[in-house]
């Protein structure tokens, strides 16, 4: 869910066996109700429609004060850069541990060792406006495939046919620090060698493990097409990024 006291709040819910989206207009419900899902579900009008809807828009009528729902069957956008042969339906995923709002450690509801390891990392676009981030990340992993610069890409995540995310191997490691500067500089140089800029080289976007340094979180990446100035700026800021102690980029529990 994405909650706001000033703008619309958005929810991704499993209703009648399908993932559906609920958008609640600003000032329709108080913030405590918006934050507590059981109270929210109790307060909502019946989410019933004769058609197979994807989005319900909830507003409070000014004349009656009642909440009303308007349903849409609009087909939602998905990631277009599909390159890996493996695709897993999102309803087959079980959350093991939340890492960030859109990233979590996962397992399959019914294990399939031939397809995926027992646990792995899943990253999804919770809402349609997050699709461009996953598009960029998916493209970066396709370019880095087989380079050992990033965790192994295990496949795409689908939601009723559209691609909304990706699966990655779970890599054991720690975040980088200033003591890892040389190793991280070497990794960034290799990364830039593929014509990519990262866009957010905070210390938590490096994993330092027994196999060296891996880079993660490519949602802000771009194909620099040998933009040497941008690559140099990113490289020169690396020492400051690795020295930062604010916890920026560390996800939940950091």
| Choice between 227 and 60, residue whose per-residue pLDDT is larger | 60
- SS3 of residue 63 by DSSP: coil
Q: Does the reported pTM lie above 0.85?
A: yes
Q: Is the pLDDT confidence value at 200 over 60? A: yes
**Of 44 and 253, which is predicted with more confidence?**
44
Q: 59: pLDDT confidence band, cut at 50, 70 and 90?
A: very high
Which strand (E) or helix (H) includes residue 122? strand 120-124
The whole-number average pLDDT for the span 191-202 is 94
Ranges 3-7, 178-182, 226-230, most confident: 178-182
| Mean pLDDT score across all residues of the chain | 93
Can you say whether residue 192 is alpha, beta or left, with left for phi > 0 and alpha for psi between -120 and 50 degrees? alpha
pLDDT at position 225:
67
Going by CATH, does the domain composed of 87-168 fall within 3.40.50.2000?
no
Give 175-236 as a DSSP string: E--GGGHHHHHHHHHHHHHTTEE-S---GGGEEEETTEEEE---TT-EE-SS-HHHHHHHHH
**Does residue 249 register a pLDDT over 80?**
no
Structure tokens at 37: 């899902």
Task: Delimit the domains of the chain by residue range.
Answer: 9-72, 87-168, 174-243
Closest to 1 in 3D by CA, of 159, 127, 103: 127
Predicted pLDDT of residue 251: 61
Element (H, E) at 146: none
Residue written as tokens 């620090």?
A: 177
User: Pick the residue with more confidence: 180 or 5?
Assistant: 180
CATH architecture, domain defined by 174-243: Orthogonal Bundle (1.10)
Q: Identify the residue with better confidence: 107 or 248.
A: 107
What's the confidence (pLDDT) of residue 104?
97
Mean pLDDT of 139-153: 97
pLDDT at site 192: 95
Tell me the pLDDT band of 129, cut-offs 50, 70 and 90. Answer: very high
């Amino acid at each position: 869910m994405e909650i706001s006291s000033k703008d619309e709040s958005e929810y991704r819910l499993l209703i009648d066996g399908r993932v559906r989206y609920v958008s609640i207009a600003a000032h329709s419900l108080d913030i405590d109700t918006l934050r507590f899902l059981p109270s929210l579900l109790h307060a909502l009008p019946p989410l019933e429609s004769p058609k197979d809807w994807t989005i319900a828009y909830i507003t409070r009528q000014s004349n009656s004060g009642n909440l009303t729902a308007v349903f849409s069957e609009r087909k939602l956008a998905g990631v277009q850069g599909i390159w890996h042969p493996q695709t897993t339906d999102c309803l087959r995923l079980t959350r093991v541990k939340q890492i960030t709002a859109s990233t979590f450690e996962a397992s399959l509801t019914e294990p399939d060792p031939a397809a995926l390891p027992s646990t792995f990392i899943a990253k999804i676009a919770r809402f349609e406006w997050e699709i461009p981030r996953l598009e960029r990340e998916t493209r970066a992993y396709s370019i880095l495939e087989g380079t050992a610069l990033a965790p192994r890409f295990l496949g795409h995540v689908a939601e009723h046919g559209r691609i909304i995310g990706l699966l990655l191997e779970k890599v054991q490691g720690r975040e980088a620090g200033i003591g890892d500067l040389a190793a991280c500089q070497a990794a960034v140089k290799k990364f830039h060698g593929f014509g990519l800029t990262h866009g957010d080289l905070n210390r938590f976007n490096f994993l330092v493990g027994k196999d060296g340094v891996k880079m993660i979180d490519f949602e802000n990446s771009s194909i620099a097409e040998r933009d040497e100035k941008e690559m140099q700026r990113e490289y020169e800021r690396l020492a400051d990024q690795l020295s930062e102690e604010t916890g920026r980029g560390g996800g939940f529990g950091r």
